[in-house]
Structure 1
Amino acid sequence: MNKIIAVITVALLFALGLTELSLAQENVTPGSGSDENTGTIRGTVLDHETAEPIFGVTVFVLGTSSGASTDFDGKFDIRIAPGTYDVRFSFVSYTTIVVEDVEVIEGEVTSLGDVLMRSSIEEMDELVVTAAMISTSEVAMMSMKRRSPNVMDGITAQRFNEIGDSDASEALKRVTGVSVEGGKYVYVRGLGDRYTKTMLNQVDIPSLDPDRNSLQIDIFPTNLIDNMVISKSAVAHMPADFTGGIVNIETKDFPEVPILDISASIGYNPDMHFNNGFLSYGGSNTDFLGFDNGARALPDAARNATIPTPISGDSPQQVSEFVNSFNSTLGPTENTNLMDYSFGVTVGNQFDVFGDKKLGYILTGSYKNANNHYSDMRYGEYQTQVGATNYDLIYATTQNGTLSERNVLLSGLGGIAFKTERSKYRLTAMRLQNGDSSAGNFFIDNSNDAPGQSGYTADSYNLEYSQRSITNFFLGGTHYFDGPSIEIDWRFSPTFSTMNDPDIRKTAYTLSLTDNPPRFNAGAGGNPSRLWRYMDEVNYNGRLDLNKDYFLFSGDAKVRVGASYSYKERDFEILAFDLQSFGSWPALTGDPSEVLREENIYPNGSVYYQSGNPDPNPNQYSSNVNYAAAYISNEFVLVPRLRTYLGLRVENYVQRHTGRDALFAQSGTSGNNLDNAKVLDSTDFFPSANFTYDITDNMNLRLSYSRTIARPTFKELSFAQILDPVSDRIFNGGLFPIGDWDGNLTETRIDNVDLRWERFGADGQLLSLSGFYKTFDKPIEVVRIQVQATSSEFQPRNVGDGEVFGAELEFRKNLNFLGSAFRWFNVNGNFTYVLSQIDMTDQEFNARLSREKDGQSVDNSRQMAGQAPYIINAGLQYDNPEIGMDAGFFYNVNGETLVIVGGGLFPDVYADPFHNLRFNLNKSIGDKASVNLSVSNILNDSNQELYKAFRAESEIFSSFDPGRSVSLGIKYSF
């Protein structure tokens, strides 16, 4: 705790120093000495219809000689003496706006936020509003949504502040058609992780999890986000490797006002916290920062071609020293855990340099420490029975026990932005460090009645640590020519990510049915084992875009051309070691702390380590991708009120792989061995067309078509076999020919059609109805390997063609029509309903037929894996700016979703609906502080994945109870 306090103190002192420096700069006008007796008015002027910035608007303070013109970002900055003023905004073909009662305070910045100007063809009287009535960024987001060429949704920083969400995952749950699986992975329109893409500042960013395509969204605190936009239909300048949606996270660059925000929160879950049965083990003294300092590192000698064993020719002393070079802790200890807590600091400002140039900076850091304790964690392996009348599933293996986790997330982002009259440059650096320490104790029951099973019971102890990091740099520039009509934008972003699982330990005692003591049995519970997993990945992404505004068919038009290039490379390795006994095992009592006592280690005893790593290692691979793309698109008005977008994107994608399968590793001759071999090589054209008919100024009808693609991940296009030591489940790379699978995993190509009607009302009110249709050519799904009856193994495979039909309904409605007492209340909701269908391969269909039951009619089609049949997000909200309070109840649920394809011996696995009801209250305290109260999982629902089969009772694949949690946070702005 002292170390945490020291880190907080240093961060606060650093933040205060920067803010004092920036405030001092704020009060100095270059070349004119001190302006201590002035304040500043800032804001952004946007087109009400398009939400695009308006260049050259005259901003004048009435009754004075002070004024300014907006730049290419629509921003303005006026220095003026303290007082209360009226500010006028005027520009040709736009209705003049006068903002009254703008209060300027000495040495401070008064922000008018987003000022939305309406175009006016005929002469109109000026529009007069008060400063408190100025349109906000949320209204600007609605305007952007209304005028966007493609179907999109989004949420802004202003909305984050209103609802009090601390991270991006909570905020995104409120967006139409979006669900957040496991609190961190974004699914759009119910489509699984494979079909959703995450980008940072419009550039690809990889996932922290090698098992996932999309990045964990909960790692982004909302204090560093400017907005998040979810694109649901394709346009040419976006990557084509998505189908559900692209989530783009834009970080802040030029803070409108000086920022020094400090926030902290605590969270309590009665099922999780202050539990004296919390399991843990000694790690390293840097675990609290999210990384291991080397305490769990693999001993150097373990990487030798041969390691010291009683039969290797090494001396007994060398064998003993080698065994003692490993940490001797193999089991957890019980202690009492604390509550969750977090804190964050954000500093930012902008000031003038070199005359009228502007320099902005943003620095933010956050720390989260979460403790989870699942006292009834369950895993199950079940099978169907032979016989047309045997409906019930039989268990092969069940595991029940306790799992405790301590998760640390440390994040930091620093950025600077520099703006001239015609250009803007931006540089950011981001670091995310995540450490997850877990310990478990499970009772394993293996049945001898199920095919391929030996029948045993065991007591298993699991210790695991995973550390993951992302380091991202972003350098970009935007330049304007010919007024703002020509825009050149360039971006370069390298990302370096690592995933290390150092020293995963599993110790399982096989329990005898007699009074004999527990023992290790390689054919049952297994011998004690240790794993080290390493992954390093680099991503280099660059893109260049040119946009040109012009006239076509007597209307405004925009042509866009651009190109991008990405290079990705991943190195992956798993090293495994087992404890063996040279002779009989020593007498054991079932306590894992006894195993590596000195009297049990060879030569005093019989215990030694054996390597499970042949040379070459089948669980080691290196893969790389060269990915080049170019596009052209045109936006124009084809006929009055019909906005048209046509685009074409071409992508060349080449993936190479170096690796081998287990057979080649053992024999050196037979089997499969690849040396930088091409495993994917394709050039694809991706057309996109979007038509928007403006029925009225606030009502649209949209129709769009696009072609997209889903590609296998590095892990999926490999020979790797990756064991989950807790559940004992094995992932097999898709290059393995297993059973009826030929090992030729390839891309999925998708055609998409969208239709949407939308109506926009005042104050962000909205009603929209959408329909969509998608076809999938060779979709990739994770299937249970039928021929592996003795173990639980899974593999990604191309299955039969598929299609998806869907509909979405979204509404946001203020309840003031019920009377003045309801003027602060609003209801909002979105509902997505989907019908999906996959045409089975002959192999899957025949496997299902082989276990067909009486009364069952096996069809050759089924639900698509990963596709939720429905999503519901709903909220009832009270938002009263007069007292600074925002509160509401929010509900989210996904329908029953197929997650693992079974058939034949193994039934399908479905994710059960998780009904999440959440309460949130955010209350301002004066002008500087706010408090946030949140209650999650009010319904106390469980998180379950279940085996389901015809007329059979559902059985558990995995199950845990997250419990109810309450969090309280405070934020103070200096």
Structure 2
Amino acid sequence: MKRFFVFFSACFTVVAGAQETGSIAGKLTDKEYNNEPLAFANILIKGTTKGTTSDFDGLYEIANLDPGTYTVVYSYLGYETVEIPNINVEVGKVSTINVPLSASQGVSLDEVVVTTVARKDSEVALLLDQKKAVTLETSIGAQELARKGASDAATAVSKVTGISKDEGSGNVYVRGLGDRFNITTLNGLPLPSNNTSKKNIDLGIFGTSIIQSIGIDKTFNAANYGDFGGANININSRDYNGSGFFELSAQTGANTEAVGVDQFYLNDGPDFSGFYNSDIPNNPFSDTFSTSWDRETSSTPINSSFSLKGGDAFNLGGNTRLNFFAVGSFSNNNGYREGVNRGAPNVGNGLPNSDFDYERYSYNTSTTLMTNVGLRLGTGTALKYNFLLLNNSQQKQEEFSGIIDREDDAPEGGGFIQRATFDRTTLYIHQLLGKHDIGDNFEVNWGGAYNYVKNVVPDRRQNTLLPVRNNRPDGPKSFALVSAASENHRFFQELDEEEIAANLSATYKFKKNEEDFDGKLTLGYNGRFKNVDFDATQFNFQFLDINNQPEVDPRNIDAYFEENPLSSGLYQIRTFRGPASFGGALEPQTYGGEQQINAAYLTFEYKFSPKFTVFAGARGEQITQSINWNTVIQGEDSNELDIFEFLPSLSFKYALNDKQNLRFAASRTYTLPQFKERAPFLFQEEINQDSFGNPELKNSINYNFDLRWELFPTSSEIISLGVFGKLIENPINTFLVVSAANDLSYANTGDNATAFGAELEVRLNVLNKEKETENSVLKESLSIGGNISYLNTNQELDSQKVSEETNLSAAFTNTEAPLQGASDIILNGDVSYFTEFSENKNLRSTLAINYFSERLFALGSTGRGHLVDKGYATLDLISKAQLGKHLGIGLNLRNLLNPLIERVNENAEGKLDTENPAVPGFLEDGPVTVLSYKKGINLSLSLTYRF
């Protein structure tokens, strides 16, 4: 097997470049038979050997044409030959030519319909849009996503300058600013979050099969929502305008860490599909839970994915055109982690309060169903409907062995915790979009969306066992000494979020020039109305009669409950509100609320000269965020945040020459706290990591500045250098609350924070060759690309400010700190190679590397240093071969370096005594590792067939 992969990867050597081409496509009809499709007609580019024939539906396409003007010849035996001259082919665009043929009479040119549509997924087309745009948006399209092997939107965005991915999730850091500073939209309309802990939806749930392009705007545009500090990430869903196609693909693979274990384990209950759910039993206090406490043996952890996609476009007469695209896919993957997991080190001796050897088995699924329908009515009206269903699940079997509490539970080791978690998110999105050109100089755009997201954590199960005697950590275990009832529990959580969003804008264009208009004035409205409902119930098993508790086999916990029913008196079941005898015991802990944003904006764009263009805007937003809760921590109460923000913005572009631009942008924005950050609910989502919200949390204000120089040597090359700065007033951070429990919460931790940095991007063609054969012109190309960013961030930390503005206590170890999630250095690079062997046979390969330096995970407090995630590099090899007109294969090797993922406490005093692990101690000063593991190398082999 090893030799096979070595040989295969050697055959698929390094890495592919984009083609600077366009295409001609369309439909042939028979005028003699009521314009029925005309199959097997000949289409030829005059003066070349390039051509094709129409299929059964009369459809044809000639791809990979160099930019230029062509004459196209259409012929069929017994029919008039038709020549269409002066067909313009543009880079990254499809010129659609629909031609009726006749046997008895010629065809006049006014019967031929010619339209040109931009290929919005093309690298070259997107780079051309970037060159022309006034604002500083960067886009990555489907063509580049495939070349770099990005399987989802999170991986795709992390290839952009200054952006890094949050380990273990699909959230990203932009210029050192994390989740709360970004905003995510789909086709310009906002998306809900799929996680109570996050503001933005997990980008990892958007597979690239549904993505046409992703726009990353790091500067504020008044047409976008003002809750912005890092980037507005807009996913454009894929549509289709070419000839009909249907594609089937399958992929299989494995993770080296997962297949390397002797036996793979998961939870009882969840199934292969990821659509599992489990309700609270009718009588939970009678111990009637149907799922096992113990881990279940799983089958061989092989990853797989399957997808079907297709699309078509039809001319309905005149200039009316209907197009549709649909995709359905399912994928799963298995993972395994092994390492250490430790609590925060104690002040003074540096010993971590908890110290575990850690294992995690995981199984994730992703199901996608998307369809969109577009209708173009004449040349002035376009309508589009999008539907998207996403169902994602994560199943985790986690096991912790060692010291649970150095001063209490298993102080010398031998403690055992296992947690079985299933987390499922289902998202429904409906969007209706419209565009209307009224005359040459007036345009109206509108859009509406209804989003619904449900997140469930059904029957999370946790067990904690302690040694019968502390001085015998390897001896028998039991529940006898477990003091906290919550250490053994079953937990049920449900989040429902509904959202309605609307966009409306009207643009007036004035002072017409040769290509467009010098001036554009846009007046718009955005509305976003959200309802959130969250409830959770936890059933804690409190153990009684300590002297009579039997020994328990950690691998057969079910036996304890089978042999000792509730009536035995050895334990009782209670919620956080109390035991069964308490009348409100089954009342869930809840929080919910409404958020309303109404915004109006005005933007003005004017080209003062062929070189100098200004884009200015002003936006006003009225934000109301009301929250209510009923929790054990603070009882039943409510709170409302009601603010109005005025948000100006200014950008300009100065064209130094035809190939160089100088850009500047400045703006004022805000950062809004999220529902979870304001809800006083205790979240116990991870072992060693509990958190609760702070109702007194306020919004931050951000001032943003950017300056960038760009050089476009060719239509597919770019060299750019930029500098930026940010000033953040009242920054929001996660911090360690001064309390016996050492929980995390949220606060405006200082008066201000700053971020300054520089970004360099280079994308160049090293090789572009053509070889003419008898039947076609074959191409070979080699390109390189890379970007690097340097960040310098700093924020003031003020414990007194937190105490005065909230009911919480803070004791920051330092008075200053970097921004959470900010790496000093972020680096991306890729080398791409493409070669054609014949017209329908080619090889495309990419070698991509990503690196980020260490970054702050959480602020240090009460004498402890900061928790810091160490930096690391990833290396991927992505290869695809087209073996004919219909068949393609691919090989992906991801995370080839398989680095150690490590989190440390940077100021902890000591180092583990590895020579005497039974009694952990510290020998010398140095950072303490609090979390470490390896993700493994992911290998996958794919097969695609296009009908």
TM-score bracket for the superposition, by shorter chain length:
0.7 to 0.9
2:294 is matched with which residue?
331
Shift of 1:467: 1.0
Match for residue 360 of structure 2 among 379, 403, 406: 403
**Residue 830 of structure 1: CA displacement?**
0.3
Q: Matched residues in 1 for 2:451 and 2:780: separation?
A: 47
- One-letter code of the match for 2:272? F
Secondary structure at the aligned position of 2:896 is classed as coil
**Which residue number in structure 1 is paired with residue 202 of structure 2?**
216
- Give the counterpart of 1:500 among 440, 446, 456: 456
What residue is the counterpart of 1:936 in the other structure? 894
Q: Label 1:700 to 1:799 Cα distance change in 2 as closer, same or farther (>3 A).
A: same
SS in 2 for 1:223: helix
Moved more, 269-278 or 649-658: 269-278
RMSD of equivalent CA atoms: 3.8
Deviation of the 1:251 alpha carbon: 1.1
Shift of 1:159: 2.3
Question: Secondary structure of the residue that 1:300 maps to in structure 2?
Answer: coil
> Which among 862, 865, 870 is matched to residue 820 of structure 2?
865
SS of corresponding position for 1:194? helix
Partner of residue 970, structure 1: 943
Alignment-derived partner of residue 579 in structure 1: 541
How far off is 1:269 after superposition? 2.1
Deviations 1:609-647 (Å, cap 9, x if unpaired)? 222236496831111101111111011123451110011
Deviations 1:527-553 (A, max 9, x none): 521111111101110111112221189
Distance of 1:43 and 1:691 partners within structure 2:
39
1:301 to 273, 276, 283: 283
Q: In structure 1, what is the equivalent of residue 564 of structure 2?
A: 600
Q: CA deviation at 1:811?
A: 0.3
Name the SS for the 2:551 alignment partner: coil
CA contact (8 A) 1:164 1:920 kept: yes
Q: 2:670 aligns with which of 709, 713, 731?
A: 709
Tell me how far 1:259 sits from its aligned partner. Answer: 2.1
Equivalent residue, structure 2, for 1:345: 308
Q: Using the alignment, how far apart are the partners of 1:851 and 1:551 within structure 2?
A: 58
Contact 2:597 2:621 in 1 (8 A): yes
Q: 2:718 aligns with which of 744, 752, 766?
A: 766
Paired with 2:160 and 2:37, the residues of 1 have a C-alpha distance of: 44
Distance across 2 between alignment mates of 1:526 and 1:565 = 42
* Contact 1:332–1:440 (8 Å) recurs in 2: no
Amino acid of the structure 2 residue aligned with 1:696: N
Tell whether 2:477 aligns with 1:518.
Answer: yes
In the other structure, the counterpart of 1:305 is none
Report the Cα distance in structure 1 between the residues aligned to 2:486 and 2:377, rounded to whole angstroms.
Answer: 67
Alignment of 1:75-224 (within 5 A): 76-79=96-99, 114=118, 137-182=122-167, 184-224=170-210
Cα deviation, 1:408-435, whole Å, max 9, x if unaligned, reads 1111101111111021111111100012
Query: What SS does structure 2 have at the residue aligned with 1:271?
Result: helix
Residue type of the partner of 1:215? I
Q: Unpaired segments of 5 or more residues in structure 1?
A: 1-22, 49-56, 83-88, 91-103, 116-134, 303-307, 309-321, 387-391, 666-672, 736-743, 853-857
Which of 289, 308, 323 lines up with 1:360 in the alignment?
A: 323
Cα 1:558–1:502 shift into 2, 3 Å = same
- Check conservation: 2:459, 2:490, Cα contact below 8 A: yes
Cα shift readout 1:446-482 (whole Å, capped 9, x = no counterpart): 45469x9977741112111111111101111111111
> Which residue identity does 2:829 align to in structure 1?
A
For the residues of structure 1 that align with 2:849 and 2:463, how far apart are their CA atoms?
A: 41
CA distance in 2, matches of 1:143, 1:413: 28
Q: Which residue of 1 aligns with 2:830?
A: 875
Gaps of 5+ in 2: 1-24, 42-53, 75-80, 103-108, 579-583, 772-777, 910-924
Please, which of 350, 356, 377 is the counterpart of residue 420 of structure 1? 377
* Distance across 2 between alignment mates of 1:244 and 1:576: 37
**Taking structure 1 as reference, are residues 849 and 776 closer, same or farther at Cα in structure 2, changes over 3 Å only?**
closer
Quick check: 1:447–1:456 contact (8 Å CA) kept in 2?
Answer: no
Partner of 1:99: none
Q: Matched residues in 2 for 1:187 and 1:81: separation?
A: 56
Rounded Cα–Cα distance in structure 1 between residues aligned with 2:596 and 2:484: 45
Secondary structure in structure 2 of the residue aligned to 1:431: strand
- Structure 1 position 583, deviation (Å): 3.6
Larger mean CA deviation between 61-70 and 793-802 belongs to 61-70
Give CA-to-partner distance per residue, 1:203-249, whole Å, 9 cap, x none: 10112222122222222222222111111111111111122211111
Question: 2:212 matched to which residue of 1?
Answer: 226
Listed as ranges, the matches of 1:910-925 within 5 Å are 910-925=868-883
Q: 1:664 to 1:709 in 2, by over 3 A?
A: closer
Distance 1:371 1:148, change over 3 A: same
1:937 partner letter: N
Identity in percent: 21
2:388 alignment partner in structure 1? 430
Provide the residue aligned with 1:7 in structure 2.
none
* Residue 638 (structure 1) aligned with residue 608 (structure 2): yes
Conserved 8 A contact 1:276-1:334 = no
Q: How far has the Cα of 1:523 moved from its partner? A: 2.5
Whether the 8 Å CA contact 1:716–1:734 is kept in 2: the answer is yes
Q: Residue type of the partner of 1:959?
A: S
| Alignment-derived partner of residue 567 in structure 1 | 529
Q: Note if contact 1:586-1:606 (Cα within 8 Å) is conserved in structure 2.
A: yes
In structure 2, how many angstroms separate the alpha carbons of the residues matched to 1:594 and 1:257?
A: 59
Counterpart residue number, 1:668: none
1:853-874 Cα shifts (integer Å, max 9, x gaps): xxxxx6x322111222221001
Matching residue within 629, 632, 650 for 2:599: 629
Normalising to structure 1: TM-score of the pair? Answer: 0.80
Shift of 1:194: 1.7
1:366 to 1:849, Cα distance in 2 relative to 1, 3 A:
closer
Deviations 1:245-303 (A, max 9, x none): 1111111233322121111111222221263321223214xx2221215xx3211334x
Q: In the alignment, is the contact (CA less than 8 A) between 1:151 and 1:232 conserved in 2?
A: yes
Q: 1:198 to 1:613 in 2, by over 3 A?
A: same
**Residue of structure 1 aligned with 2:752, choices 801, 804, 808:** 801
SS in 2 for 1:770: strand
- Per the alignment, residue 738 of structure 1 pairs with none
Letter in 2 for 1:150: T
Task: Please tell me whether the aligned partners of residues 111 and 257 of structure 1 are also in contact (alpha carbons under 8 angstroms).
Answer: no
Give distance in 2, aligned partners of 1:35 and 1:654: 57
Flag the 1:526–1:138 CA change in 2: closer, same or farther, 3 A.
closer
Match of 1:926 in 2: 884
Structure 2 CA distance for partners of 1:59 and 1:206, relative to 1, 3 Å: farther
From the superposition, tell whether residues 190 and 933 of structure 1 become closer, same or farther in structure 2 (CA, over 3 Å). Answer: farther
CA distance in 1, matches of 2:510, 2:330: 48
Quote the offset at 1:929 in angstroms. Answer: 2.2
Deviation at 1:728, TM superposition (A): 3.7
The 8 Å contact of residues 688 and 706 in structure 1, kept in 2 or not, is answered as yes
**For the structure 1 residues 58 and 178, does the alpha-carbon distance in structure 2 shift closer, same or farther, using more than 3 Å as the test?**
same
- Following superposition of structure 1 onto structure 2, how do residues 685-696 of structure 1 map, counting pairs within 5 Å? 685-696=646-657
Give the whole-Å Cα distance in 2 for the aligned partners of 1:637 and 1:800: 39
The Cα offsets for residues 936-972 of structure 1, whole Å up to 9 and x where unpaired, read as 1211202222211177422223222101221111222
- Measured in 1, the distance between the counterparts of 2:391 and 2:366 equals 6
Structure 2 matches for 1:246-325, cutoff 5 A?
246-273=232-259, 275-284=261-270, 287-293=271-277, 296-302=278-284, 322-323=286-287, 325=288
Quick one: which of 473, 480, 488 aligns to 2:430?
473
Structure 1's 822 and 494: CA in aligned 2 closer, same or farther, altered over 3 A?
Answer: closer
Q: Match for residue 815 of structure 1?
A: 766
Q: Which letter does structure 1 place at the counterpart of 2:38?
A: E
**Structure 1 partner of 2:931:** 958
Superposed CA deviations along residues 11-60 of structure 1, whole A, max 9, x for unmatched, are: xxxxxxxxxxxx999968999242324545679999x9xxxxxxxx9998
